[in-house]
Amino acid sequence: MLKTKAVGKSLAVALTIIIVVLISSLAGTILYYNSLINEKNTQIKSLSTQKIQLQVWLENNITQLNSIIREKEMLENWLKENKTYYEQTIASLQNQITSLNKKILELDTEIKSYQKYKDEYSIYTREYENLKDVVNQRFDQSNVKAFITPEDKIVSDTVYKITGGWSNPSDWNEFWKDVKTMYNWVLNNIKYRNDGLYPMLPPDPSGKIEFENEMWQFANETLNLREGDCEDMAILLCSMIRCYVNSKYPAEVIIIYGESSGHAAVQIPVSGYKLVILDPAGKYYTQDILGNIVPNDIKTEINKWLNYWKPKIEGNIQVNRIFSDTIDKEFNSTNEYITWMYSR
């Protein structure tokens, strides 16, 4: 009986232990699965939140999609309704393009024709300008160098007919003798004549022609007319002398002015600060007591010639200009001219 009780007691203890162990193990398992359940619950909550967000996004996009579908349907209906109109508009525009291309070709032809007329007008304008310059330079003195023409055939023929040419260019006695011959020829063969009215061309052909009573002639014109005033004789004689020396030595037209009138002659500068004045219109030349051309001191000779003209030209007479085919120089006073001459 005692053993049985002991065994029963032992079994009860063992069973209790087993039960405690089982309960302890079961409690750990329960804790583990509770942890898993909590984790899954957290995931379920997160997924639920995502589901709600996705549902909101889907609803928004469905709304946008429906709106796009409605706009598409509206555009399709608009295109269907306006297709004919725009097809007609396109056809009309194509016809206009064809018409415009035709007009462009016509305009190209007109432009080419206009360019031809423009080129012809430019030629006409240029030729008129040249003509105007040639005519008007006779009294505006814009290109005085052009008046001295040593290479003109009529001038050269006259020089060689009168002098036979400079046979010995180192013989200055021959030179002065022939210069005197040319001076006398101009004096005796060119009749002094005051200028008449001469037309001055306007800036363009539509303008009004004006007339001047003071103009310059070219040397060949004076030779053909056998008439001219002082500057015409001076231009002729200067051209003849420049032809005679083959343009190697200077001879220049010299112009003087008083208060209301002026005069022109020819000057020949000579080495040693000397000068010869040849004035066929005024019947004056630089000479010695025997009538031979003899160079004189520049200042002495120019003042002598100016004094010669004082009774005939009113006011203070001053040297105003000298020119030839190679030079054109203007002066404000005779003293300026004298200073310049000594510095040449």
CB 197 within 8 A of CB 213: yes
Coil, strand or helix at 267? strand
* Predicted local distance difference test score (pLDDT) of residue 295: 97
Amino acid 341: pLDDT: 97
Both tokens assigned to 200: 């001055």
CA pair distance 274, 205, nearest whole angstrom: 49
Residue 2's pLDDT is 53
Run means of pLDDT, 10 residues per run, the chain, 344 residues: 62 75 74 78 80 79 82 79 78 85 84 80 83 78 92 97 95 97 98 82 82 88 96 98 97 95 96 97 96 96 97 93 97 97 95
Asked if residue 301 lies in contact with residue 326, where contact means CB atoms within 8 angstroms, the answer is: no
pLDDT of residue 125: 82
Q: How far apart are CA 209 and CA 135, in angstroms?
A: 12
Is CATH 3.10.620 what the domain over 141-343 is classified as, yes or no? yes
| pLDDT the model gives residue 11 | 73
Domain boundaries, the chain: 1-113, 141-343
pLDDT at residue number 142: 81
> For the CA atoms of 310, 313, 319, 323, what is the dihedral angle to 10 degrees?
-130
User: What does the pLDDT read at residue 59?
Assistant: 77
pLDDT value of residue 253? 98
| Closest to 249 (Cα-Cα) out of 322, 180, 325 | 325
The one-letter amino acid code at 112 reads: K
Residues whose CB is less than 8 angstroms from the CB of residue 303 and which lie 6 or more positions away in sequence, other chains included: 334
Look up the pTM and report it: 0.67
Model pLDDT, residue 3? 55
CB neighbours (10 Å) of residue 243?
A: 25
CB-based contact 196:232 (threshold 8 Å): no
Residue 70, Cα to own-chain centre: how many angstroms?
66
Cβ–Cβ under 8 Å, residues 320 and 332: no
Element (H, E) at 107: helix 2-140
Place of tokens 């500068």: 269
